[in-house]
């Protein structure tokens, strides 16, 4: 390994890590949080008996305070939330299938000043005064047609958004009564979920933004610090612990997303891999006839996208981030100069600190990020939940990012920084084992759909049981 002082590399990592959190991915998105995508996941399901399924999920509105009443976080009725799948033409970045989610609000008559009141022990509780529902639209772009539109599940129940986790008095046994029942099965075999969840992203953001004040053993990890679950706070603090996000998740048969309509079994099959990403869009014109509600007109225009983690955060220059968010993966070759010769590697690791890095153009990075799709090799069997490695392929688990898709457990911060340092370049052995010291989520993930942990409860949110760097499982 290339010899380097701990303090020097701490500064190196911190400069890159400042871009690592996928929750503030462009200046304009700071003003539009309901359309601000945080993270995107796509992977073969590892739920028992569901290995023939593909799962995709997107999170929006990061850093949700669980006790943010009386008006809790919600999906926007004016945002089109979309999953995009590219399954042909060598994964060129053009969508072949789209799965749209659009939300509707119903304000039930009530005399209170709150959105939720009383004992809410079912998704049909009359105490849900702000009742959110949604429709799912499946589009086949090759045939230029809408395949199906769903607003109810197979039992005729409206597709409703899971309510927030208020606490043990208002929402007792949250996951059993409200979380799990908000998973709906559609007539075409898909399963869907929309609602609050724990934020599955884990990263020591506080140390980064305190002017590079990293906590040992970061940034060079070895032994148990690299392979274990991460030291307890305050040695390493998960800046996302105790916070919630709004999650949209969909599960579908693999046969639904391949161009051949079959499950590929050979890596040489042209249908072996798919690419996927998430987008949010708004209509091009908004009129605000105050005091009446806003009115929206025209075509939907993309305002944000996310494929791989860290792309816009670590590879796209700040003045271009908003433009990147509005661009299409099909046109990502325009970003190749920044991705193939990343400033983090050449300008910082090499230019400032004199470290040896692979020469540009970085074909290893271009192969992952151009076009910016989360690629899922459907011939890689999913790793059982209990056997998954947070480092994915770097830890011998090819079902993780960046080869087998992205799962909640994948430590994309550590994987991403090691990739930037050259670990994916054949024959290059000088990449140090970078990491932030936070090796796991603050609360355990689920081993079944929608896989993200239940949301933290507002009642239990405090400096002791809330955003304390490790979090407390309050919603299970």
Lowest mean pLDDT among 114-118, 190-194, 236-240: 236-240
d(CA 370, CA 179): 37
Residue 12: the pLDDT is 46
Average model confidence (pLDDT) across the chain: 89
* Total Cβ atoms within 10 A of residue 460: 19
Contacts of 284 (CB under 8 A, 6+ apart): 297, 298, 299, 300, 301
Condensed to tens digits (0 to 9), the pLDDT of residues 117-148 reads 999 999 999 999 999 999 999 999 999 999 99
Q: Which residues contact 96 (CB under 8 A, 6 or more apart)?
A: 85, 86, 87, 88, 140, 141, 142, 259
Q: Length of the chain in residues, anyone? A: 476
Residue-level pLDDT at 431: 87
- Extract the runs of DSSP E, i.e. beta strands, from 288-353: 295-306
What confidence category does residue 1 fall into, taking pLDDT thresholds of 50, 70 and 90?
very low
Residue 184 has pLDDT above 80, yes or no: yes
Tokens 């011939």 belong to residue: 379
pLDDT over 70 percentage in the chain: 89
Q: CA 165, 167, 172: angle at the middle one, nearest 5?
A: 90
Please state the rounded mean pLDDT for residues 260-283. 96
341-351, pLDDT tens digit by residue? 998 788 866 77
- Position 6 scores a pLDDT of 45
Distance CA 275, CA 464 (A): 41
pLDDT tops 80 at residue 43: yes
Q: Which of 122, 133, 150 is nearest to 75 (CA)?
A: 133
Q: Is 287 left (phi over 0), alpha (psi -120 to 50) or beta?
A: beta
pLDDT-based confidence at residue 473 (cuts at 50, 70, 90)? low
Residue 238: what pLDDT? 87
**pLDDT value, residue 15:** 44
Would you say 165 and 215 are in contact if contact means Cβ atoms under 8 Å apart?
A: no
Return the percentage of the chain with pLDDT > 90, whole number.
71
| Cα distances (Å, whole numbers) of residue 310 to 95, 103, 247 | 21, 28, 19
pLDDT band at 394 (very low <50, low <70, confident <90, very high): very high
Q: Place 93 in a pLDDT band, splitting at 50, 70 and 90.
A: very high
Asked whether the predicted pLDDT for residue 37 surpasses 70, the reply is yes
pLDDT at site 219? 80
Residue 57's pLDDT band, with cuts at 50, 70 and 90, is very high
Place 227 in a pLDDT band, splitting at 50, 70 and 90. Answer: confident
Integer Cα distance of 39 and 25 in angstroms: 10
Q: Which range is least confidently modeled, 120-134, 264-278, 461-475?
A: 461-475
* Mean pLDDT for the stretch of residues 357-375: 95
Phi, psi (rounded to 5 degrees) for 357 = -130, 160
Residue 460 has pLDDT above 90, yes or no: no
Q: Name the residue with higher pLDDT: 209 or 250.
A: 250
Residue 14 pLDDT greater than 50, yes or no: no
CA atoms within 13 A on the CB side of 83: 28
> Which of 33-37, 154-158, 431-435 reaches the highest mean pLDDT?
154-158
Q: Which residue has the higher pLDDT, 287 or 11?
A: 287
- The answer on pLDDT for 204 being more than 90 is no
The residue that leads in pLDDT, 176 or 222, is 176
CA triplet 338, 343, 345: central angle to 5 degrees?
115
First to last CA, the chain: 43
Torsion angle of the four alpha carbons 99, 333, 324, 299, in this order, in degrees rounded to the nearest 10: -50
- Stronger pLDDT, 279 or 318, i.e. the higher one: 279
pLDDT at 354: 73
Sheet with 53-64: strands ordered across: 184-185, 191-198, 244-253, 53-64, 37-44, 405-406
Residue 195 has pLDDT above 90, yes or no: yes
pLDDT score at 11: 47
What mean pLDDT do residues 95-120 have?
A: 95
- Average confidence (pLDDT) over 32-58: 97
Assign 313 a pLDDT band (cuts: 50, 70, 90).
confident
The number of beta carbons lying within 10 Å of the beta carbon of residue 199 is 31
* DSSP-derived secondary structure for 95-120: -SEEEEEEEEEEE---SSSSSB-S--
At residue 4, the pLDDT reads 47
Give the confidence band of 390 by pLDDT, cuts at 50, 70, 90. very high
Lowest mean pLDDT: which of 139-143, 161-165, 360-364, 456-460? 456-460
Residue 99 CA to residue 114 CA, distance in Å, equals 32
């Amino acid at each position: 390994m290339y010899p380097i002082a701990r303090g020097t590399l701490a500064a190196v990592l911190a400069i890159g890590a400042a871009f690592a959190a996928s929750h503030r991915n462009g200046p304009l998105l700071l003003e539009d949080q309901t359309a601000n995508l945080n993270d995107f996941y796509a992977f073969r399901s590892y739920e028992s008996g569901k290995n023939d399924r593909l799962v995709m999920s997107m999170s929006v509105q990061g850093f949700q305070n669980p006790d943010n009443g009386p008006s809790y976080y919600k999906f926007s009725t004016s945002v089109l939330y979309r999953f995009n799948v590219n399954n042909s033409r060598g994964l060129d970045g053009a969508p072949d299938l789209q799965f749209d989610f659009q939300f509707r609000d119903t304000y039930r008559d009530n005399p209170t000043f709150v959105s939720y009141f009383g004992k809410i022990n079912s998704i049909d509780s009359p105490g849900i005064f702000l009742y959110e529902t949604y429709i799912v639209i499946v589009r086949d772009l090759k045939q230029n047609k809408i395949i199906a539109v769903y607003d109810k599940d197979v039992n005729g129940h409206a597709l409703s958004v899971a309510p927030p986790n208020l606490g043990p008095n208002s929402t007792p046994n949250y996951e059993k009564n409200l979380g799990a029942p908000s998973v709906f099965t559609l007539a075409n075999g898909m399963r869907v979920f929309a609602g609050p969840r724990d934020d599955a992203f884990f990263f020591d953001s506080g140390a980064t933004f305190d002017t590079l004040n990293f906590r040992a053993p970061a940034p060079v990890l070895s032994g148990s610090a690299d392979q274990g679950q991460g030291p307890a706070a305050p040695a390493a603090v998960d800046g996302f612990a105790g916070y919630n996000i709004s999650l949209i998740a969909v599960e579908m048969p693999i046969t639904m997303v391949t161009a051949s309509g079959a499950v590929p079994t050979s890596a040489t099959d042209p249908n072996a891999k798919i690419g996927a990403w998430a987008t949010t869009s708004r209509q091009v014109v908004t009129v605000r006839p105050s005091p009446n509600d806003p009115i929206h007109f025209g075509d939907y225009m993309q305002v944000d996208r996310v494929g791989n983690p860290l792309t816009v955060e670590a590879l796209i220059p700040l003045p271009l981030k908003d433009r990147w968010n509005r661009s299409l993966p099909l046109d990502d070759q325009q970003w190749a100069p920044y991705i193939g010769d990343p400033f983090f590697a050449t300008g910082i690791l090499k230019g400032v600190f004199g470290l040896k890095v692979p020469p540009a153009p970085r074909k290893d990075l271009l192969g992952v990020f151009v076009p910016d799709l989360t690629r899922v090799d459907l011939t890689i069997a999913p790793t059982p939940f209990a056997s998954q490695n947070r480092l994915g392929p770097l830890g011998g688990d090819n079902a993780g990012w960046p080869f087998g898709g992205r799962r909640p457990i994948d430590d994309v911060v550590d994987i991403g920084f090691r990739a930037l340092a050259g670990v994916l370049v054949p024959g290059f052995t000088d990449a140090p084992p970078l990491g932030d010291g936070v090796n796991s989520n603050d609360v355990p993930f689920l081993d079944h759909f929608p896989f993200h942990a239940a949301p933290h409860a507002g009642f239990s949110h405090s400096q002791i049981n809330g955003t304390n760097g490790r979090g407390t499982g309050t919603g299970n």
